[in-house]
Amino acid sequence: MADEKQMTTLKKVLHRIKPYTSGIVLSLCSAAVSVVMSLYIPVLIGRAIDCIVEAGRVDFARMGSLLTQVVLCALAAGLVQWGMREINNRITFQVTRDIRNEAFRHIQVLPLSYLDSHPQGELVSRVITDVDTFADGLLMGFTQFFTGIMTILGTLIIMLTIHPVIALVVILVTPLSLVVAAFIAKRTYSMFTLQSATRGELTGIMDEAVGEIKVVRAFGHEKASLSQFDEVNERLDKASLQAVFFSSLTNPCTRFVNSVVYALVALTGALFCLAGGITVGSLTILLNYANQYTKPFNEISGVVTELQNALACAGRVLDLIEAPERSADPAEPKKPGKVEGSLEIRDLKFSYTPDKPLIDDFQLSVKPGQRIAIVGPTGCGKTTFINLLMRFYDPQGGSICLDGVNTLDMTRRDLRRSVGMVLQDTWLKAGTIRDNIAMGKPDASMEEIVAAAKQAHAHSFIKRLPQGYDTLIGESGGSLSQGQKQLLCIARVMLCLPPMLFLDEATSSIDTRTEVRIQKAFDTMMQGRTTFIVAHRLSTIREADVILVMKDGHIIEQGNHQTLLAKGGFYANLYESQFAH
The full set of domains in the chain, from first to last, is 2-321 (1.20.1560.10), 343-579 (3.40.50.300)
Strand partners, 373: 533, 547
What value does the mean pLDDT take over residues 490-517? 76
Number of H helices, E strands in the chain: 22, 14
| HSE-up of residue 337 (Cα within 13 Å, Cβ side) | 0
Count the Cβ atoms, other than its own, within 10 Å of residue 158.
20
pLDDT band, very low/low/confident/very high, at 302 (cuts 50, 70, 90): low
pLDDT for res 581:
45
What value does the mean pLDDT take over residues 196-209? 78
Question: What is the three-class DSSP state of 163?
Answer: coil
| Residue 93 to residue 139: CA distance in whole angstroms | 9
In 3D space, the residue among 43, 66, 67, 71 whose CA is nearest the CA of residue 286 turns out to be: 43
In 3D space, the residue among 297, 284, 266 whose CA is nearest the CA of residue 42 turns out to be: 284
pLDDT for res 484:
81
What value does the mean pLDDT take over residues 323-328? 84
pLDDT for res 549:
85
In 3D space, the residue among 47, 299, 283 whose CA is nearest the CA of residue 159 turns out to be: 283
pLDDT band, very low/low/confident/very high, at 63 (cuts 50, 70, 90): confident
| Residue 121 to residue 338: CA distance in whole angstroms | 42
Whether the pLDDT of residue 1 is over 60: the answer is no
pLDDT for res 474:
73
pLDDT for res 326:
84
Whether the pLDDT of residue 577 is over 80: the answer is no
The residue that leads in pLDDT, 505 or 352, is 352
274: Cβ contacts below 8 Å, ≥ 6 apart = none
Percentage of the chain exceeding pLDDT 90: 0
pLDDT band, very low/low/confident/very high, at 419 (cuts 50, 70, 90): confident
CA angle 104, 434, 459 (to 5 degrees): 140
pLDDT band, very low/low/confident/very high, at 503 (cuts 50, 70, 90): confident
Residue length of the chain:
581
DSSP H helical ranges for 401-457 = 412-417, 433-437, 446-455
Poorest-pLDDT segment among 230-244, 302-316, 335-349: 302-316
pLDDT for res 473:
83
Sign of CA dihedral 116, 119, 124, 130: negative
CA distances from 234 to 122, 199, 216, 230 (A): 17, 11, 21, 6
The residue that leads in pLDDT, 189 or 356, is 356
Whether the pLDDT of residue 121 is over 70: the answer is yes
| Residue 32 to residue 209: CA distance in whole angstroms | 52
Mean pLDDT of the chain: 79
The residue that leads in pLDDT, 437 or 63, is 437
DSSP string, 379-396: TSSHHHHHHHHTTSS--S
Question: What is the three-class DSSP state of 511?
Answer: coil
pLDDT band, very low/low/confident/very high, at 476 (cuts 50, 70, 90): low
What value does the mean pLDDT take over residues 392-410? 87
Percentage of the chain exceeding pLDDT 70: 87
| Residue 208 to residue 216: CA distance in whole angstroms | 10
Whether the pLDDT of residue 580 is over 60: the answer is no
| Residue 101 to residue 19: CA distance in whole angstroms | 15
What value does the mean pLDDT take over residues 568-573? 83
| HSE-up of residue 159 (Cα within 13 Å, Cβ side) | 26
What value does the mean pLDDT take over residues 23-40? 82
| Residue 159 to residue 272: CA distance in whole angstroms | 14
The residue that leads in pLDDT, 406 or 254, is 406
The residue that leads in pLDDT, 561 or 278, is 561
Whether the pLDDT of residue 36 is over 50: the answer is yes
